[in-house]
Amino acid sequence: MTNKVKSVLVAALMVFAASFVSAQDKVEWKEMIDFHKVMSQTFHPVEEGNFQPIRERSGEMVEKATAWQNASIPAGYTNFKGIKKNLKQLVKKSSALDKKIKTGCTDEIIKADLTALHDIFHNIVGLCSDEH
């Protein structure tokens, strides 16, 4: 093997290793994981007609969204502006839903608002992927 081929292989290996480390960093955003846990444990029951989990945990959802918004964006994410903008909306809309639930809104309002929050969550996840 020539020195030039060896150099190219070493460079390719280094790029691969750097991208692997970067991808690992992205997986470990604790606040994203914490928010997702509450979202999944409230959104999926609503899809099945069970509104009790979101009625009981809407305040927790606000807390997790706020903690996520206040957390540092991990190394490797590049779309800071888009992520921050969507996190701001996530906090704003989860706070609004919490207030509506506390004042006794209908299941239809909860479903519509929670679906919108779920969409915002997926927008953020998309912005955090390698494709953006």
State the burial class of residue 41 (Cβ atoms within 10 Å of its Cβ: 0-12, 13-18, 19+).
Answer: middle
What is the residue extent of each domain of the chain? 28-127
Report pLDDT digits (tens) over 19-55: 444 444 445 799 999 999 999 999 999 999 999 999 9
> What CA–CA distance (Å, rounded) separates 39 from 57?
10
Fold of 28-127: Four Helix Bundle (Hemerythrin (Met), subunit A) (1.20.120)
> What CA–CA distance (Å, rounded) separates 42 from 50?
9
Count other Cβ atoms within 10 Å, centred on residue 22.
Answer: 15
Count other Cβ atoms within 10 Å, centred on residue 68.
Answer: 22
Amino acid at site 3: N
In the predicted model, is pLDDT for residue 88 greater than 60?
Answer: yes
